[in-house]
Amino acid sequence: MSNLGQKGETPLLMPPPPPPAPPVYFQGRDSLEPINRKTLLARAKKGEVIVLDVRPAEEYQAGHLPHARSIPFADLEVRVSELPKKTDIVAYCRGPYCVWAGEAVALLRDKGFQAVRLEDSVHDWRAHGLPVSTGDTP
């Protein structure tokens, strides 16, 4: 016979529910292999990788990584067919706290692309003495 609920008895407490899963842009970041900036630049120049700028078009025009292709995140789902499936994609936006690149990687992976996120922003790129391009989409 249980004493639960009797006077002077401490009721049993249920453990709190587990915390919700972190948003997709914070998941799996430790499993990503970093790429050297200069190596990325060389691979993009050779067409071995697509550097995808998912910021708004105005930001792309003001300054972007060399050889980058602009597809703003808001347009990515309808324009995903413009990207070749057999080429690796490196998505970037405004830096490590910008969620668009992470969300773009998740969308691309769901559609069968090999995609990773670059934490650098255009400002980070410039701060490391690397070139930045301006103007319209190539």
Whether residue 55 has pLDDT greater than 70: yes
d(CA 136, CA 134): 7
Share of the chain above pLDDT 90, in %: 57
Residue of 110, 129, 105 lying closest to 37 (CA atoms): 129
Query: Which member of 50, 51, 65, 93 is catalytic?
Result: 93
Backbone φ/ψ region at 116: left (φ over 0), alpha (ψ -120 to 50), beta: beta
Is residue 96 domain-resident?
yes
pLDDT of residue 86: 93
**pTM for the structure as a whole:** 0.75
Is residue 44 domain-resident?
yes
The tens digit of pLDDT for each residue in 60-82 reads 999 999 999 999 999 999 999 99
Query: Any idea what the Cα angle at residue 88 is, between residues 72 and 130, rounded to 5°?
Result: 70
| Domain harbouring 98, CATH code | 3.40.250.10
For residues 90-118, average pLDDT:
92
Count Cβ neighbours within 10 Å for each residue of 59-84 and write b for 16 or more, e otherwise.
bbeebbbebbbbbbbeebeeebeebe
Is residue 3 domain-resident?
no
Is residue 99 domain-resident?
yes
d(CA 45, CA 30): 27
Strands 88-92 and 49-53: parallel
Number of domains in the chain: 1
Q: Band of the pLDDT at 119, cuts 50, 70, 90?
A: confident
Is residue 40 domain-resident?
yes
Active site residue 98: no
Is residue 88 domain-resident?
yes
Is residue 76 domain-resident?
yes
Is residue 25 domain-resident?
no
Give residue 72's domain range: 34-127
